[in-house]
């Protein structure tokens, strides 16, 4: 019974903080009430409040500042990243699941880009990344590959797509980094050519071709994982 009571108490504190977020009382960067204030407000023990905050910190929702207190984290995508990483480590999901999700979401990203338009600044950024990828290798190439795809995601101008996809992209690239770093010259050139074709098809406003190259990209990625 004691264990159930404690569980109920820390869950009360988590629900209380979530409700404050939903009500707009807490926003990104807001300082949350102290452990003592939450405990007194809910009539629960300080240990239960401390446990709730520790759980939310582990999820990436809360960040602690030494000597100042606890705040709603500015990088909300980290919460999703933590959850997906733990699920992957526990075997609840597989890298195959992440690849399938990325593949389908990438199609949606392309469709939104063609629907909403692609700014000149975004095109220039893609071109710059592609130019740098040609002479890059190892970890630098991994980072540029991630930057290329993040640029496409942000071009959707949909905040939810950006938050979710950036978190998933980070988990995906943790596994893809070894593939990219250890690829032979022929495979690396294939990756680079596909990236170039994706960019060109966006510039030329050819959605069908862009979706074709997105498929080729993930076909190649899956064959190497």
CATH of 2-74, one of 3.90.1150.10, 1.10.287.130, 3.40.50.300, 1.10.10.10: 1.10.10.10
In 3D space, the residue among 37, 47, 49 whose CA is nearest the CA of residue 13 turns out to be 49
Among 80, 107, 72, 86, smallest CA distance to 169 is for 80
Taking residues 40-63, what's their average pLDDT? 89
- Decide if domain 94-224 falls under CATH 3.10.20.30: no
Mean pLDDT of 20-48: 91
Residue 76: pLDDT band with limits 50, 70, 90: low
**Where along the chain do its domains lie?**
2-74, 94-224
Percent of the chain with pLDDT over 90: 46
pLDDT value of residue 3: 46
The pLDDT tens digits of the residues spanning 173-200 come to 777 777 777 788 888 899 999 999 999 9
**Which residues, in sequence order, are CB contacts of 135 under 8 Å at separation 6+?**
none
Half-sphere exposure of 194 (CA within 13 A, CB side): 19
List the structure tokens of 196. 């170039």
Distance CA 63, CA 76 (A): 11
Mean pLDDT confidence for 8-15: 90
Predicted confidence (pLDDT) per residue in 84-125, tens digit: 888 888 888 888 888 889 889 999 999 999 999 999 999 999
Higher pLDDT, 57 or 209: 209
How many CB atoms within 10 Å of residue 201?
A: 20
pLDDT category at 7 given cuts 50, 70, 90 is low
């Amino acid at each position: 019974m004691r264990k159930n009571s404690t569980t109920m108490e820390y869950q009360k504190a988590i629900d209380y903080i979530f409700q404050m977020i939903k009500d707009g009382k807490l926003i990104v960067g807001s300082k949350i009430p102290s452990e003592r204030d939450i405990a007194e407000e809910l009539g629960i023990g300080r240990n239960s409040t401390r446990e709730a905050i520790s759980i939310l910190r582990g999820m990436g929702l809360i960040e602690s500042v030494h000597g100042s207190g606890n705040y709603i984290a500015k990088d909300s995508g980290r919460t999703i990243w933590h959850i997906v990483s733990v699920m992957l480590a526990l075997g609840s999901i597989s890298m195959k699941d992440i690849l399938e999700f990325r593949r389908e979401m990438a199609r949606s990203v392309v469709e939104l880009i063609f629907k909403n338009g692609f700014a000149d600044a975004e095109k220039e950024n893609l071109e710059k990344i592609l130019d740098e990828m040609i002479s890059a290798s190892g970890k630098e190439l991994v980072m540029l590959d991630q930057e290329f795809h993040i640029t496409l995601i942000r071009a959707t101008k949909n905040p939810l797509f950006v938050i979710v996809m950036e978190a998933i992209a980070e988990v995906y690239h943790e596994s893809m980094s070894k593939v990219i770093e250890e690829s032979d010259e022929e495979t690396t050139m294939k990756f680079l050519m596909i990236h170039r074709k994706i960019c060109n098809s966006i510039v030329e406003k050819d959605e069908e071709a862009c979706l074709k190259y997105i498929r080729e990209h993930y076909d190649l990625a899956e064959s190497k994982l």
